[in-house]
Amino acid sequence: MKFAVALAAALLAVSTPAWAAPAKATKPAEPAPIAAPIPAHVALPTDVTPERYDIAIAPSAKDLTFAGHEAITITVKRPTARIVLNAADIAFQKVRLSCSPEAPRIALDKTLQTATFTFAKPIAPGRYTLAIDYTGVIYQQASGFFALDYAGGGGKQRALFTQFENSDARRFAPMWDEPGVKAVFALTIEAPADQMAVSNMPVAEEIVSSDHPTPVGRVTWKTTRFADTPKMSSYLLFLALGDFERIRRQVGKTDVGVVVRRGDTAKAQFALDAATELLPYYNDYFGTPYPLPKLDFIAGPGRSQFFAAMENWGAIYYFDYALLVDPKLTTEADKQDIYVDIAHEMAHQWFGDLVTMAWWDDLWLNEGFASWMENKATDHFHPEWKIWLQTKAGEQSAMRTDARSGAHPVITPIHDVFAAANAFDNITYQKGHAVIHMLETYVGEDVFRAGVRNYIAHHAYGNTVTNDLWREIDAVSPKKITGIAHDFTLQAGVPLITIASPGQGVRLTQSRFGADAASKAPRTWRTPVTVGNIGEPWRVVVSANEPAVAADAVTRNGPLLNAGQTGYFRSAYGPGLWDRIVPLFPKFNPEDQLGLIYDSRALGEAGYAPLTDFLALSRHAQDAADSVVLRTLASQLAGLDDLYNGQPGQKAFRAFARARLAPALARVGWDAKPGEPDNDALLRRTVLTTLGEFDDPAVVAEAKRRFTAWLAAPDSLTGTTRQIVLSIAASHADAATWDQLHALAEQATDPTDKTRFYRYLGISHDPALADRALALALTKEPPPTDAPELITGVAENFPDKAFDFAVAHRAAVDAMVEPTSRTSFFANLGGAARDPGTAAKLTAFAATVPPSARGEVAKALASISYRLEVISKRLPEVDAWLAAHPG
């Protein structure tokens, strides 16, 4: 997971088959937020297991309900009178077991999300069929079976999709909804014949019935039956229904397609091109050809606060913004993100779908690996994007979390669905991929790939734990990695490697980098450390608790720690070495320039070194040749400026920061140059929007001028420049500009553009306009998936205001967000605060959520505490340095 007329609602509300007849009469109530504690490690009994699900669905989109019939082939392993499986927001109509003439007693546990069928007599071991008739809810947020509305040729249109990770297949059909319980799925849907149905497998059969009467005339009904899936986990099942079109290309034995709303096929060509070049690459890398007959990429309008795309086997779902390219609206950064997202979800077809983690504890096996593989594949086809450099920003985000209280290990105990949902974070993704990249570099690319190929071959269609992967790599590698891997995946924290030069050589020592007292508790890692010099060979040392000596690894240039920046640790330089390194900044590779920028700020904010080291380094970094380095400098200056909000020294800091970005602005300007690299467009956006946040008078004035001109001539701005101008104009909006943006949001017909306009309404620096945006979020005007964007937009500048508002309107905001991601949504709003009072409110909020979800609040509290510590202890040091270094 990474985060066109559709079907007419009236047509799906009529002429349902006989088994679906009770649907309207038994509409389940809309689910309420779940806050009750859940016992440790909720897992179903293992005495009954499924082999096959035959599921038939008849949706009623108008009523947001559906009817289902299910026949589950089960194996009873031991005598039992009870069958327990998962079900949430399901109303049972009839339950029958093939060996029992009597219906069982049904008991539902809403907290555990289970249904228990108790029979009059124990069931003997054997193979049986469990038949269930039921009804369920179609949601308007992206979880379970859900509807997305959009503007079409005939007014508001509706398409249906599913999203089951991590634990929402149970909202679609009663089932054993755990990743370690794999089975075959055979899916059938009954719907109007003019709607296209899409699932994991190709269509096996379509049966068109006679016309049926509807409120808008007569319509032909169609039953679509899909081919059986391979044995797979329940969260990978997928269904979509709408007025879709599909473009396709044959790649070897695989039919590759992109499914879009009618009229959007031109926007799908980039995705189809990307997928068709990536598929042969993955077939070769994994050594196992993609096993399904087709691979579809399905686009849907709107967005989620939880995910952008989902790796359903053979039917990958994306929100429009993560898949489709519109020449007028899509930026160069968007295109790169789309390519990376496609590479990520395709990697899952092997790592996650073909081979699946046994339980959510090992979620990182899916997500960390796919995050690493997305970069490897993207860099193979687009080295000009320098994706390995760009991904360092995500790794730094993980390090910041990992160095504070509340951090969890990469492999972390998952006790229930709430804990599983909250494990989709930067530790699982970014730290996970950083650790894999470090291990691959340590053993070598070819050796690592050989281990991965064996892992896939030996565990295809099965479930694994992380040690299964380490064993396969150790079996082919002269350098063993299990010990190193355990150190980085079984404990939280960030190593700190310090290099000193006490004599003729250099000496490495290890400690723990921490941003607060709890995160500085001693720990040890076996850490591959690369020491290098300009123009000289690098040396790799595995550093643990004992100091490591590399006597010949220092020259007059001074040693460079973590050369190549593939190690997951912070680098610190002993007395005298830092002063020798800084003047050499222009000579280092871009990777190492990034390392120096990131580490100097992190060490300075945490008190390991003067924060002014970062400021001094930035004067060397401002003239860097690589655009990714300059973007990183801008983002790090912006991060420090954020700490200055409301502080008296912000004016002096902004003057310094604007001067550091002046060379980059002079280089890229406002307008694209013929033939410029894509990364220069990314640099332009970062520099101009950052200067806009710094209230640079010339930049803000030019953005407002261009915005006014664009209102008169909408085709005058496209792509990156359009986003730059709108972002700066929105953040500096007055009431009149806000009203203009509001009108544009209402009028927008492209779902992605509409989402962006609603978010722009939230990012104004004017607190009165922020209040208007929050009030708008509670109305019926924004699409249901866009309303949360208004609140998160406000949180960029007024996190306390956004959090207070969300808590004050808890029920309404809960309804906007997917059930299992509600806690993280609230925690993220408050986590950006600078007011100690918000920390107290977050603590009170934590008492209202499941215990297993409180880790998200703990991370938010640690973020607030860290921010306040830097403001009180480090910014005065910066103020003094700026006063002593005018200009």
**pLDDT for the residue 97:** 97
| 15 pLDDT higher than 50 | no
Residue 42 — pLDDT band, cuts 50, 70, 90? low
| 693 pLDDT higher than 70 | yes
pLDDT digits (tens, 9 = 90+) for 218-261: 678 899 999 999 999 999 999 999 999 999 999 999 999 999 99
**652 compared with 533, residue with greater pLDDT:** 652
Report yes or no: 584 and 558 within 8 Å, Cβ to Cβ: yes
> What token pair was written down for 728?
């700066």
3-state secondary structure string across 287-339: CCCCCCCEEEEEEECCCCCCCCEECCCCEEEEEHHHCCCCCCCCCHHHHHHHH
**545 compared with 616, residue with greater pLDDT:** 616
| 32 pLDDT higher than 90 | no
Partners of residue 50 on adjacent β-strands = 74
Query: If DSSP codes are grouped into helix, strand and coil, which group holds residue 250?
Result: strand
Interval 538-551 mean pLDDT? 59
Arithmetic mean of pLDDT over the chain: 91
Report yes or no: 148 and 302 within 8 Å, Cβ to Cβ: yes
**Cβ atoms within 10 A of the Cβ of 333, count?**
18
Q: Can you tell me the distance from the alpha carbon of 877 to that of 1, in angstroms, rounded to the nearest whole number?
A: 42
**pLDDT for the residue 26:** 32
pLDDT digits (tens, 9 = 90+) for 120-145: 999 999 999 999 999 999 999 999 99
Ranges of H-type helices in 217-268: none
Distance of CA 282 to the CA centre of its chain: 22
Residue 189 — pLDDT band, cuts 50, 70, 90? very high
Residue 49 — pLDDT band, cuts 50, 70, 90? very high
Residue 216 — pLDDT band, cuts 50, 70, 90? low
**Residue 867: burial class (beta carbons within 10 Å; 0-12, 13-18, 19+):** middle
**pLDDT for the residue 31:** 33
pTM beyond cutoff 0.75: yes
| 544 pLDDT higher than 90 | no
> What token pair was written down for 532?
């290098």
Of the candidate ranges 105-119, 361-375, 572-586, the one whose mean pLDDT is the lowest: 572-586
Q: Active site residue: 190, 332, 345, 472, which one?
A: 345
**pLDDT for the residue 629:** 98
pLDDT digits (tens, 9 = 90+) for 765-819: 999 999 999 999 999 999 999 999 999 999 999 999 999 999 999 999 999 998 8
**pLDDT for the residue 550:** 47
Q: Can you tell me the distance from the alpha carbon of 227 to that of 538, in angstroms, rounded to the nearest whole number?
A: 54
**pLDDT for the residue 373:** 98
Of the candidate ranges 463-467, 554-558, 729-733, the one whose mean pLDDT is the lowest: 554-558
| 213 pLDDT higher than 80 | no
**pLDDT for the residue 12:** 27
Q: Can you tell me the distance from the alpha carbon of 693 to that of 682, in angstroms, rounded to the nearest whole number?
A: 17
Residue 24 — pLDDT band, cuts 50, 70, 90? very low
In the chain, what percentage of residues exceed pLDDT 90? 83
| 506 pLDDT higher than 60 | yes
**pLDDT for the residue 883:** 95
3-state secondary structure string across 8-49: CHHHHHCCCCHHHHHHHHHCCCCCCCCCCCCCCCCCCCCCEE
**Residue 126: burial class (beta carbons within 10 Å; 0-12, 13-18, 19+):** exposed
**pLDDT for the residue 576:** 85
Interval 547-560 mean pLDDT? 54
Cα dihedral sign, 479-548-567-557: negative
Residue 155 — pLDDT band, cuts 50, 70, 90? confident
**pLDDT for the residue 557:** 57
| 350 pLDDT higher than 50 | yes
| Residues ≥6 apart with Cβ < 8 Å to 258 | 246, 247, 248, 265, 268, 271, 272, 275, 296, 297, 298, 299, 323
Burial 84-106 (b: 16+ CB within 10 A, else e): bbbbbbbbbbebbbeebeeebee
- H-helix or E-strand containing 512? strand 506-513
- H-helix or E-strand containing 106? strand 105-109
The identity of residue 301, as a single letter, is P
Q: Is 345 a catalytic residue?
A: yes
Range list of β-strands (E), 164-216: 184-192, 196-199, 203-214
| 552 pLDDT higher than 70 | no
Length of the chain: 887
Query: If DSSP codes are grouped into helix, strand and coil, which group holds residue 141?
Result: coil
pLDDT digits (tens, 9 = 90+) for 278-330: 999 999 999 999 999 999 999 999 999 889 999 999 999 999 999 999 999 99
Partners of residue 233 on adjacent β-strands = none
| 4 pLDDT higher than 50 | no
